[in-house]
Amino acid sequence: MKRSYQRNDIVITGIGNVLPDAMDYASFENKIFEGKFLFRPIDKDRWKIEDNFSKDLKKDTKTYSTMAAQIKQSDYFSIKKKHNLDLPTDHRALAYLVEAYSQIIEDINFCAENMTLILGSMNPDILFSQQRLHTLFKNMKLNYEKNYPSKKNKDELYDYLDIELEDATSGAGPCSLEGQFHTSMLKRLKEIFPNDYNGSGFLIDSACASSLTSIEVACNVLKSREKDFVIAGGVESNLANGAFVLFSKVGALSPTHAKPFDQSHDGLTQGEGCVLFALERLETALKNKRKIYGVIKGVNGSSDGRSASLFQPTVDGQVMAYRKVWGNIESNPFHVETHGTGTIIGDEVELKSITKYFGGEKVFIGTNKGIFGHTKSTAGATSILKVVAMFNRQLMPSNSHIQQDMFKEIENFEITKSERPLSKYQTHVGISAFGFGGCNYHLALERYDEELDISDIKNKKSSRNVSKTLSIIKSHTLSLNDFELDKMSQNFFPPKSYQQIDILQFAAVECVYKMFPNSQHIFTSIGLEKINILSCGRLGLDKLIDMATKVTCDTLITKLSRKKINPTIKTLLKLIKEEKLKYPILSEDIGPGVLNNVIAGRVANVFNLQGKSYHIDMDLGSYDAALYSIKMNLHSNPNEVYLLIDTTGAFDQENCLYKTTTLKVDLITHPDFSKALGLGQDEEIQFD
């Protein structure tokens, strides 16, 4: 089949990456082709194994695995020194982002005024987590004052608490409004690169699909011609003990190391890092005489809809993401770079979805998580980086971690066990990233051939034609002050899960139901695949705070129990145990309760909605950023609708909490599709 390019094809023209033992693209390429895994026990500067590890799976705040692919402490400090990062807010995620961004700047020249940054990140705000601990220690002091006002060992006890606070927070100061927002990273980025970043952009959280989601939104921005240059990708630095506990509760971690698509697989191994891509329209890239690393022929997503669990992937949900991409492309992939985490259920479901959709022609299978681990919100971007390396060397790298191939007996599918040269006909690759909350994303990347005829693209001019209005079909607002769980309209949740699920998940489901009591009929008439769910802003995440606080309490108890018991230590243990009892026992239900994007995912699950779902964060401007994202997406796919979940609230300085007071859901679409649906219109949003 004759290959051709379209003028609105999006191409990769710049790369920046910071990954374990691969602090730039050249190092990454070498590591991918070496094929050796980079896992080791967690470094002591992250957390102490003796305080957090237990083989006893019944220990609800312990982890049974300590393995991770980590960026060396020496490399982290080198980044901080290189970019003068010393402030308490300059945590690891920011450092990785700054270094990757600096590599993009070195790679190509661009006009910062006409660009934007769309960053995938499920990384919790480290500063916020540290600041929240100030409240924990303050409450312990108050509790002590209340119950033991005349104790002689007060000063010694307070000294112990202050030392533990310093250790737990790395010296971060008391809480502030600024620390509530993860997007403080973008503000610091503008300060560090005043001439090379204009400050525009936002974060996207779709769990482990975050970086591919950011790239899809970036592609739609470029296709709309709103911008000529977008940087997109993902950043992840969360290797905290709480992250290990979270994965331990669902049995997702390997006690040794990840072995994706090997019959001996027993779980994932976590990784970290940042991968960014400079993206341009092909016509702009040719005009600017860029090096082109690859052509994005399509990227799209789906939700699992009604499934057994928000942690459990589905074959149909993944197949839907493949179909949305490859259904619009005349070529087929010769290789699928899988999500391939190494968990038993994840690998088995993905094997079934791949063989169900891509069967019929020879397809090679690969995964990078046997080397770099699961980089979570950076996972999809890391997979793209591997495919770019594959195109560059004209070789398929081996998957050396696989000994007992799960695809071995399946016709037309093969996991590459040794390097294979690419033929000129092997041009298209599929790349997957799937996230907790039932979020599935897939991308098609084509090897660029500069010998193809591109004269039409060079000579023909394009016009910008983006709708300046959005239609809000219906809205509903819920006051959280008046909301009571036992008075929900329907019992959509298993009662045993109530203690583990954030209240905003309940509220969002209730709000959608109140908006459409006959939702099944309405949503089916629109088309379940056409309904996307977005949340935005600073959400409650009360369960995340609960989990982190409880894990911290238990770590302190373990640590203090090893000390020689004296009256001060005995009192400390009593105080911390009393604090720990305030929080529920952690179970496998805690995962869907603590993730930002899962509020949207929960709505998709309850109402069987199968469009995309993700979360957008841009501080107090998150609602406007979400509307902008919807406008860009509807430019490419006007016959879709969006359920947009927004919250309002106030910052509680004393307790270091953003208190959410109201939740609102809007049903939004393109004005033309609104008329076609015949559902009416409550409001029209005008853009400049």
The answer to whether residue 26 scores a pLDDT higher than 90 is yes
Angstrom distance (rounded) from CA 421 to CA 396: 6
CB atoms within 10 A of CB 468: 10
Dihedrals phi, psi of 74, to nearest 5 degrees: -65, -40
HSE value, Cβ hemisphere, 13 Å, CA-based, for 351: 22
Structure tokens at 218: 């970036």
Structure tokens at 673: 């599709």
Residue with tokens 């359920």: 643
Angstrom distance (rounded) from CA 167 to CA 556: 11
Report the b/e string of 562-575 with b at 16+ CB within 10 A: eeeeeebbebbbeb
**546 vs 127, which has greater pLDDT?**
546
Angstrom distance (rounded) from CA 658 to CA 177: 8
Q: How many Å from the N-terminal Cα to the C-terminal Cα in the chain?
A: 43
Provide the pLDDT confidence category of residue 300 given band limits of 50, 70 and 90.
very high
Q: What is the mean pLDDT of residues 433-454?
A: 89
- Specify the length of the chain in residues: 688
Most confident of 142-146, 182-186, 529-533: 529-533
Q: What is the mean pLDDT of residues 329-356?
A: 96
- pLDDT computed for residue 585 by the predictor: 79
Four-CA torsion 552, 553, 558, 564, nearest 10 degrees: 120
Bridge partners of residue 280, in order along the sequence: 11
- pLDDT computed for residue 172 by the predictor: 56
Longest Cα–Cα distance of the chain, Å, equals 86
Which residue, 429, 463, 258, is CA-closest to 333? Answer: 429
The answer to whether residue 532 scores a pLDDT higher than 90 is yes
Which residue, 541, 535, 436, 534, is CA-closest to 208? Answer: 436
**254 vs 686, which has greater pLDDT?**
254
Most confident of 519-528, 532-541, 607-616, 649-658: 607-616
The answer to whether residue 65 scores a pLDDT higher than 90 is yes
Angstrom distance (rounded) from CA 657 to CA 246: 22
pLDDT in tens, 163-214: 777 666 665 555 554 544 567 788 899 999 999 999 999 999 999 999 999 9
